[in-house]
Amino acid sequence: MKKLMYKWKCMDCESMVNHKGLCRDCTEYSELGDIVTPVARVKVDMDGHEIIKNTNVDKTYIFRDGSEGKKGFRGPKRMTKKQMMLADEEAVAMAEAIKQLVDSQGDGEEMLEFGESVTIDEEE
């Protein structure tokens, strides 16, 4: 794949060069050689059209496991032993809570099975 060659163009005098910096023809200097009014060159392609960098790029990516993050050299880090212990404790607590909820609903209340439809009779 060929690397694109960029040029640098002064928008005042339309001169194109291979390096960036100040335009030597348009920049005004004092008698001591200090810069009074700088005129910078702009990055252009080979045809002379100005290259505008897109700054609205979203840098977040969605990984295979569904988590979001920034794409980089290293993958997502593993959980530490303490984090794994906490996650296991939370999973056990959640399982117990679900079990208690199922037991409390089974004490005489009618439960709906998956696939059953609920119909509401309208009284007029």
**Residue pLDDT, tens place only, 15-32:** 889 888 898 888 999 999
Which percentage of the chain shows pLDDT scores above 70?
70
Please tell me the predicted confidence (pLDDT) of residue 106: 64
Residues 112 and 5: their CA atoms lie apart, in Å, by 69
The model carries a pTM of: 0.42
Instruction: Give whole-number Cα distances, 87 to 8, 20, 54, 62, 80, in Å.
Output: 56, 55, 41, 22, 10
Where helices occur in 1-124 by DSSP H, the ranges are 81-105
